[in-house]
Structure 1
Amino acid sequence: MPARPHRTVDRVIEILETVSLSPRGVTLAELAAALGAAKSSVQELTNGLLARGYLIEEEHRFHLGPGPFILASRANKLAALSLDHQFVAELGKVLGCTILVGVRVGDAIVFTDRAGEESPSLTFVARTHARRPLYTSAAGKILLANVPDDEMYRLLDLASPEQAGEVRQFLAELPEIRSRRLAFNRGVTFADAFVVATPLLAGDGSLIAAISAAVDPAKPDSLDNVGEELKKAVATLGPRYGPQPR
């Protein structure tokens, strides 16, 4: 049976992600507003999360409990690996531009690391670890293009009718993305985002992450050359730093 969103699961995840993004914690009223749900239904979910240690409550504000961190420490794939930040910083020095690391989380991309400050919009997205659709950003396109076709189409089928144009655009770009191992965002998602991305692969060929390079919006014509340099730099530096077990 193909994976599909589930309303209750979606709400639980929304609660955890909303809480994780607020250093000062989130009130029940704020959670209900963020989810567009009644306080009574949200409270039922938060009570369950409190009971299982996924949330803690201090002065009527919710914070993440130890549960999510225990799950991450047990994971045997991406969550249990650490990509050396020095790798990201070194790429930024070699290419002279902002570097971002994007990973797939379900049907979305989340940026987990960055180096440089070229684009305020991209820096904000990376700092907040916000979920974004896979088929819009350069990094998301790389992640989609590097999964098996049946999984790729399953993820694309989750798009809403309003996103059909973006899906068609991704499919039109797909052959070139796979042949060049590069995907581009030329000011589409943000006006100041001119980005090229390439995959970072493990030794066995499995996908680890998408590595993006963002260029100065005043120099959009440099994007193709930066993309070729990004591929070379990732191939050279990746084995040196790579993901290391915790």
Structure 2
Amino acid sequence: MLTVRSSPCGREASGSGARPPYVLITVGDAGVVMFGPFGVSADLPDMRRARGTGMQRTYLRMSHRISVRPGRYGAPRLRDKTRAQSYDGRDGANISRMPVRPHRTVDRVVGILEAVAQSPQGVTLAELAATLEAAKSSVQELTNGLLARGYLIEDDRRFHLGPGPFILAARANKLAALSLDHNFLAELSKVLGCTVLAGVRVGDALVYTDHAGQESPGLTFVARTHARRPLYTTAAGKTLLAHVPDEEMYRLLELASAEQTGEVRQFLAELPEIRSRGLAFNRGVTFKDAFAVATPLLASDGSPIAAISAAIDPAEADRLDDVGEELKKAVAVLGPQYGPNRA
């Protein structure tokens, strides 16, 4: 396993002088601390790993060439080029550690499934092509593959979800948020006197899974359609983003477009308070009537299960901070009774 960590402050004190920002790189059980400006590289030769089973093992000598460059938002970005050699000296394969990032084909397949899932009457090939901004011939190749695997079915030239996604979900339903009792949200809504929503992180987006309480023209529509929302602008998204490791958080932020740089920087400015208070706010940023506060519902190991949001009328925006504190207390009390960790 390879991890990278930058110093939390710009410079590190050392005796009478100061050291530039440093990066700690760990490969397996060995590590090196590099002091110096970003842009330097480090070689970590002679790292051995075993491949194979039983007595027939091939030992590889791994020579790591690691480069660190600054990311857009200050976090280091890693490039790891690894050269593998077998123990007896024969050349092995070149291994390049690829960053987690969107892939056009995967994005199109996911876009097809999500578009079909949100349309009860089904979707035509032309509608899918328009939604994906892709040629119909390209989209048809993908739909044919999904039809063959049972992830889509076609009726009167309209695509609907097939049994594949439901079987997949039934086999591997490990998302604790999906087992949240609706009564949990209903009780929270009754205690707080406002709309309450549960949201989870899906890749680089927030998706609301359930809601209860008063109708909100913008928020309840988004909740019903399970539309993807940005992590760094919504109250629930900020809450979830603040509870992932820094390396993962910065990776997700790097996916934002140049037009969203201001929103990302605003989130980073709010981040220390979100983590210290356990609350994140949306004060009319995503929708003009969206005034919401969110807090995490945590598992027993401290990992976030979901973000629980409370949304109030814009006319009551001045009491959003008080609603947040009430929400945090109510989730702490009711969560163990209704949440997925209940006995």
Of 306, 313, 332, the residue aligned with 1:209 is 306
Asked if the contact 1:20–1:64 (Cα under 8 Å) also holds between the matched residues in 2, the reply is yes
Aligned residue identity for 1:231:
K
Bigger relative contact order, structure 1 or 2 (CA pairs below 8 A, ≥6 apart): 1
The whole-number CA distance in structure 1 between the counterparts of 2:174 and 2:263 is 30
Shift of 1:80: 8.2
Aligned to 2:31: none
Aligned residue identity for 1:223:
L
SS at match of 1:120: coil
* Deviation >2 Å, runs of 4+: none
Of 179, 182, 192, the residue aligned with 1:85 is 182
Asked if the contact 2:209–2:226 (Cα under 8 Å) also holds between the matched residues in 1, the reply is yes
Shift of 1:116: 1.7
Aligned to 2:265: 168
Of 230, 237, 254, the residue aligned with 1:157 is 254
Of 87, 95, 108, the residue aligned with 2:205 is 108
Aligned residue identity for 2:235:
A
Aligned residue identity for 1:75:
A
Aligned residue identity for 1:122:
L
Of 222, 237, 246, the residue aligned with 1:125 is 222
SS at match of 1:110: strand
Shift of 1:76: 4.8
Asked if the contact 1:118–1:214 (Cα under 8 Å) also holds between the matched residues in 2, the reply is no
Of 315, 320, 323, the residue aligned with 1:218 is 315
Q: Which runs of 5+ in 2 are unaligned?
A: 1-97
The whole-number CA distance in structure 2 between the counterparts of 1:213 and 1:48 is 41
Asked if the contact 1:83–1:244 (Cα under 8 Å) also holds between the matched residues in 2, the reply is no
Asked if the contact 2:292–2:311 (Cα under 8 Å) also holds between the matched residues in 1, the reply is yes
Of 287, 293, 313, the residue aligned with 1:190 is 287
Written as runs of structure 1 = structure 2, the 5 A alignment for 1:56-75 is 56-75=153-172
Shift of 1:71: 1.4
The whole-number CA distance in structure 1 between the counterparts of 2:175 and 2:192 is 26
Alignment TM-score, normalising by the size of structure 2: 0.70
Aligned residue identity for 2:320:
L
Count residues in correspondence. Answer: 245
CA gap 1:103/1:97 in 2 versus in 1, 3 angstroms: same
The whole-number CA distance in structure 2 between the counterparts of 1:124 and 1:81 is 19
SS at match of 1:48: helix
The whole-number CA distance in structure 2 between the counterparts of 1:74 and 1:65 is 16
The whole-number CA distance in structure 1 between the counterparts of 2:298 and 2:139 is 40
The whole-number CA distance in structure 2 between the counterparts of 1:224 and 1:133 is 22
Asked if the contact 1:112–1:129 (Cα under 8 Å) also holds between the matched residues in 2, the reply is yes
Asked if the contact 2:207–2:227 (Cα under 8 Å) also holds between the matched residues in 1, the reply is yes
Alignment TM-score, normalising by the size of structure 1: 0.97
Of 217, 239, 243, the residue aligned with 2:336 is 239
Asked if the contact 1:54–1:65 (Cα under 8 Å) also holds between the matched residues in 2, the reply is yes
Asked if the contact 2:300–2:341 (Cα under 8 Å) also holds between the matched residues in 1, the reply is no
The whole-number CA distance in structure 2 between the counterparts of 1:28 and 1:118 is 34
Aligned to 1:31: 128
Shift of 1:91: 0.3
The whole-number CA distance in structure 2 between the counterparts of 1:79 and 1:8 is 29
Asked if the contact 1:73–1:80 (Cα under 8 Å) also holds between the matched residues in 2, the reply is no
Asked if the contact 1:88–1:115 (Cα under 8 Å) also holds between the matched residues in 2, the reply is yes
Asked if the contact 1:109–1:134 (Cα under 8 Å) also holds between the matched residues in 2, the reply is yes
The whole-number CA distance in structure 2 between the counterparts of 1:76 and 1:128 is 20
Root mean square deviation, CA, Å:
1.3
The whole-number CA distance in structure 2 between the counterparts of 1:120 and 1:80 is 24
Structure whose CA Rg is larger: 2
String of CA shifts for 1:119-170, please: whole Å, max 9, x gaps: 2100111011000110010000000000000000000000010000000000
Aligned to 1:143: 240
Aligned residue identity for 2:185:
V
Aligned to 2:111: 14
Shift of 1:73: 1.2
CA gap 1:51/1:90 in 2 versus in 1, 3 angstroms: same
Q: Which runs of 5+ in 1 are unaligned?
A: none
Shift of 1:117: 2.7
Richer in strand (by share) = 2
CA gap 1:81/1:128 in 2 versus in 1, 3 angstroms: closer
SS at match of 2:179: strand
Identity percentage of aligned residues: 82
Shift of 1:41: 0.7
